[in-house]
Chain A
């Protein structure tokens, strides 16, 4: 598969799966204001999904559209990283997952605004305003919950420790990533990873949370289509109607 097409699917799938997970929490947040803020994030991510998958479909040139890509690929063809498939769990897990994702997402979008691919740069320009806000929000909550009560601190530390092994996949560059860097489409990994770790360190320190070692073993495979058991269920739920009623217009 064309490296750029793969790359676009990765971005779209990350946003889509994470958004889908956040949608599960509709009406179930710990406070009304929080419910609204979280659904804002889910909505933003969905908008970004559509931009990425829309471009991917065009680039592919096989007559597929954003919905065809979203609803008719099985897990083996999904390109999201493992982090976004991790369960919602408690609100601590949800917010820590969000923070880890947002930090990487922010620096990536920032890098992509300078992409040699004009369309990607445009998508990144549009997305970065939202992602800047997402990161400010999730970082703020990590600090508040990390440095809140003993209970919240413990929950956040556990969430961090458990999600940590999913926080490195984004920086394990493969042939697709390298091709994108070579073409000036995507930012190089070292700078990206350093920004990520620096920001994490700053926020986690303020949150009085202990950051695990960046050299820890990182789970991998999502970008290449090797996912966790969860993705199958997520897709089964999401894709049901289109699969059950093939050819129907909605």
Chain B
């Protein structure tokens, strides 16, 4: 998802025997559905995993502004421009809510940004793909935000209070994002032949990367199992991906567009769609830095940060001067 394959640092899932009395009490709270809050005792591994997960999610929102920022100056109507700008702004806001949530765990935003800029911290694979046409604004809202919603709604019930509350706030805003994307797709699909071709092309390019967003199958994953026990991961990658496919196929049919998967087929027995093999080597490569836009995305963020040094410093200097003057008065 936005946070993919989060490492818990553990080699096996914690059992009662492994746990101290403190940790058992902690686990009992989680099992009872009681929220863990910022100053509560928590195992170091839980804290570290949450920092990784929440910050990856935050970084994704921030970097996620860039593929859409790419088209806001070229939006084809004033209304579309306004809506897209509002969406991009929302993403900055989501990043901010999430950094806030991460900071409750004893890490500073500057530390997290340093990790992002150095390439140590990850962000969602999906944002390393280019937005090549206006139809991409539709596809991204529809498929990427659509997938994000599927992941985020369960997270509203996750065990860590600040993260759950941030997710509730994010989810309220996210459904507008998916709808505006689908609205764009509808206009294009019902438009001129060139527009329809534009829409189909965008779907062709964004379909598989969107499925990859959910991460590889994690049936065997210790990390996933531990995160599930901690209730910071509520469904498996495959379950979420299946949900996305089942939800989206009828939406594509309504548009009269073809999903680029010849193996896509309704399976009456399962009550779900069967779909084709995902090219996980592409996913692994994108995560490693070999995606179409990794370099640009990171460079843009680093440049914005470095170019902003003087600005941030000046604001601190001014605040200090004012505080000193006040103290002296």
Contacts and interface: CB of A to CB of B under 8 A. Distances in A.
Interface of A: 16, 20, 23-24, 26-36, 39-40, 42-43, 46-47, 49-50, 53, 66-67, 70-71, 90-91, 143-145, 147-149, 151-152, 155, 237-238, 240-242, 245, 247-250
A49 B304 contact: no
Contacts of A66: 78
Contacts of A238: 73-74
Nearest to B95: A32
B243 interface: no
Contact of A26 (B65, B310, B314): B65
Contacts of B311: 30-31, 34, 91, 145, 152
B66 A151 contact: no
B308 A43 contact: no
Interface string B290-325: 000000000010011101111111110111010000
Contact of B76 (A34, A90, A242): A242
B13 interface: no
B12 to A, nearest CB: 38
Nearest to B308: A30
Interface residues of B, number: 49
Given A49-B78, A148-B318, A242-B76, A30 B313 contact: no
A43 B318 contact: no
B1 interface: no
B5 interface: no
The dominant DSSP class at the B interface is: helix
Contacts of A240: 74
Interface of B: 62, 65-66, 68-69, 72-82, 85-86, 88-89, 92-93, 95-96, 99, 134, 184, 187, 191-192, 194-195, 300, 303-305, 307-315, 317-319, 321
A151 B187 contact: no
